[in-house]
């Protein structure tokens, strides 16, 4: 499909975070056939968290094609592993943990530590695997770095491991300011967008079957993704350990805002159907969202709109990518569905809730300003009007998306000059 070959030329980024001298440093010291070990795979109930891994694997294959890749997968899921191996057949996946003394457990893990030249913490919501970095550092003394994460707070324990890193690439510029205020600065710190922007995997067969069954035509439907203000992990994982007080606080916050937030999404859905006569696909980014689709997005709709609205159960990012590629526009209160859409050449809106961390700054850093809606400061009419503006000026919207994706590629090209070997 032609949009997969989205032209990604370089463009100038005016943020000015990287000095030219940083390009003299290579974390792999010029090694020609390196072994790179990454830690990723934070959880499997969120297609965004799943997508970090194949996105980063694709980036490594593109920029360091001669490298052998080992994935230390933090979560365990055979279905996700199968998806990864289908798309990256040369990949080696290892699982396992370490003891309280940071000694790796299991022969596969020990062998991986022995052969790997560089260890990289993959893209994610924070330095999720800080202890994994500490384990690597203690056992090997070899170089490690961090790629495309948000760092919102830094304690002394985290600061200690960050100071040892060969590079720290944050997925938005807000994290760089957090690092600076903690006394961390220098050429090893730079802005590298979330690795999901490099997602290349697809499941065209499953997507085509679903689209045909639901009569969703190319560019004639929008996708809409709901989200509560706080993720109710206690509903997802019965062993989450949440206290009754935390559950109540989460539920109270969600109940306070769920209607006012989703009414704005519904207004855009209504405008789309009534103006274009086209369809809407309501779909999830996280598993729990399947259970709120009817209550918050479908049941309250006017009777003339409901027949044009379809819903999709939980899926994996490869199928989502194939569906989003066919969509006209994606509207999402979650952060990563718009990224998956953008990676596949489809315009996307991010309706950002104030509880969704500083990661949303990446959209502004990359020039998506017109498609970000701070939900407390936006109305349903504003979102609807912007959607119809995209509809009425679609070639311009595609051109603007292309410009932002060029910035993404420019950032990736720059930071990989730090990591990769000289050819």
Which one has a higher pLDDT value, 52 or 43?
A: 52
Give the mean model confidence (pLDDT) for residues 348-365.
96
Look at residue 176 and tell me whether its pLDDT is greater than 60: yes
Look at residue 80 and tell me whether its pLDDT is greater than 90: yes
Look at residue 394 and tell me whether its pLDDT is greater than 50: yes
**How many percent of the chain have pLDDT more than 70?**
92
Helix (H) / strand (E) containing 250: helix 244-276
**Separation CA 311–CA 185 (nearest Å):** 46
Residues in the chain: 423
Instruction: Please state at what angle helix 394-419 crosses helix 47-63, rounded to 10 degrees.
Output: 60
Residue where the block lists tokens 């044009």: 308
pLDDT-derived band at 1 (thresholds 50, 70, 90) equals very low
Q: For the chain, which residues make up each domain, given as ranges?
A: 16-199+408-419, 204-405
- Cα-Cα-Cα-Cα torsion 375, 377, 379, 380, nearest 10 degrees, comes to -10
**How many percent of the chain have pLDDT more than 90?**
87
Judged by average pLDDT, the poorest of 31-35, 160-164, 376-380 is: 31-35
Phi, psi of 281 (to 5 degrees): -110, 115
Tokens of 386: 């912007």
> For the chain, what is the radius of gyration of the CA atoms?
21
pLDDT-derived band at 248 (thresholds 50, 70, 90) equals very high
Q: Where on the phi/psi map is residue 318: left (φ > 0), alpha (ψ -120 to 50), or beta?
A: alpha
Look at residue 9 and tell me whether its pLDDT is greater than 60: no
Residue where the block lists tokens 């070990």: 37
Dump strand ranges (E) for 92-233.
92-94, 118-121, 144-149, 167-170, 189-191, 221-225
Residue 309 pLDDT:
98
Residue 420 pLDDT:
64
Q: Supply the mean pLDDT for the chain.
A: 92
Give the mean model confidence (pLDDT) for residues 87-98.
95
Q: Are 391 and 278 in contact (CB under 8 A)?
A: no
Give the mean model confidence (pLDDT) for residues 153-175.
96
Topology of domain 16-199+408-419, CATH: Rossmann fold (3.40.50)
Look at residue 27 and tell me whether its pLDDT is greater than 70: no
Tokens of 331: 């509207």
Q: 8-31 as b/e, with b when 16 or more CB fall inside 10 Å?
A: beebebeeebbeeebeeebbbeeb
Residue 239 pLDDT:
77
Residue 238 pLDDT:
77
The two beta strands, 35-40 and 144-149, are unpaired
Please choose, from the candidates 222, 401, 201, 212, the residue with its C-alpha nearest in 3D space to the C-alpha of residue 315: 201
Give the mean model confidence (pLDDT) for residues 88-103.
95
Q: CATH assignment of 204-405? A: 3.40.50.2000
Give the mean model confidence (pLDDT) for residues 313-335.
98
Question: Which tens digit of pLDDT belongs to each residue from 138-157?
Answer: 999 999 999 999 999 999 99
Residue 419 pLDDT:
80
Look at residue 370 and tell me whether its pLDDT is greater than 90: yes
212: Cα within 13 Å, side-chain hemisphere: 6
Does the fold of domain 204-405 match that of domain 16-199+408-419?
yes
CA dihedral for 221, 227, 231, 236, sign (positive or negative)? negative
115: Cα within 13 Å, side-chain hemisphere: 17
Beta bridge partners of 221: 279
Look at residue 19 and tell me whether its pLDDT is greater than 50: no
Single pTM value for the model: 0.92
Question: Which tens digit of pLDDT belongs to each residue from 177-197?
Answer: 999 999 999 989 999 999 999
Give the mean model confidence (pLDDT) for residues 287-302.
98
pLDDT-derived band at 28 (thresholds 50, 70, 90) equals low
Beta bridge partners of 72: 39, 94
Give the mean model confidence (pLDDT) for residues 402-417.
96
Give the mean model confidence (pLDDT) for residues 356-380.
96
Tokens of 261: 């937030």
Residue 76 pLDDT:
87
Give the mean model confidence (pLDDT) for residues 328-343.
98
């Amino acid at each position: 499909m032609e949009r997969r070959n989205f032209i990604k030329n370089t463009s100038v980024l005016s943020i000015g975070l990287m000095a030219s001298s940083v390009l003299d440093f290579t974390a792999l010291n010029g090694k020609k056939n390196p072994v790179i070990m990454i830690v990723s795979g934070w959880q499997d109930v969120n297609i965004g968290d799943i997508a970090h891994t194949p996105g980063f694997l694709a980036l490594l294959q593109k920029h360091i094609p001669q490298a052998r890749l080992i994935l230390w997968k933090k979560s365990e899921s055979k279905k996700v592993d199968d998806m990864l191996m289908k798309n990256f057949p040369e990949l080696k996946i290892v699982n396992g943990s370490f003891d309280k003394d940071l000694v790796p457990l299991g022969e596969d893990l020990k062998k991986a530590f022995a052969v790997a030249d560089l260890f990289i913490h993959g893209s994610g919501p924070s330095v999720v695997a800080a202890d994994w970095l500490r384990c690597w550092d203690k056992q090997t003394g070899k170089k490690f770095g961090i790629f495309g994460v948000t760092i919102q707070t830094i304690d002394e324990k985290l600061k200690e491991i960050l100071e040892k890193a060969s590079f720290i690439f944050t997925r938005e510029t807000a994290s760089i300011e957090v690092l600076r205020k903690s006394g961390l600065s220098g050429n090893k710190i730079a802005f590298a967008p979330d690795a999901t922007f490099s997602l290349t995997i697809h499941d065209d067969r499953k997507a085509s079957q679903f689209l045909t069954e639901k009569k969703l035509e190319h560019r004639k439907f929008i996708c809409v993704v709901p989200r509560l203000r706080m993720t109710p992990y206690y509903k997802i994982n019965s062993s989450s350990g949440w206290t009754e007080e935390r559950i109540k606080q989460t539920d109270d916050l969600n109940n306070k805002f769920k209607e006012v937030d989703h009414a704005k999404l519904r207004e855009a859905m209504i405008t789309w159907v009534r103006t274009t006569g086209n369809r809407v696909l309501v779909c999830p980014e996280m598993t729990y969202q399947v259970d709120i689709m009817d209550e918050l997005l479908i049941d309250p709709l006017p009777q003339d709109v409901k027949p044009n609205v379809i819903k999709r159960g939980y899926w994996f990012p490869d199928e989502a990518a194939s569906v989003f590629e066919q969509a006209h526009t994606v509207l999402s209160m979650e952060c990563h569905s718009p990224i998956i859409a953008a990676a596949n050449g489809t315009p996307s809106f991010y309706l950002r809730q104030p509880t969704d961390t500083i990661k949303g700054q990446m959209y502004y850093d990359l020039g998506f300003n017109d498609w970000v809606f701070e939900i407390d400061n936006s109305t349903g009419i504003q979102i609807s009007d912007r959607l119809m503006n995209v509809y009425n000026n679609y070639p311009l919207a595609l051109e603007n998306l292309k410009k932002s994706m060029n910035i993404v590629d420019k950032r990736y090209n720059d930071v990989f000059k730090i990591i990769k070997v000289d050819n």
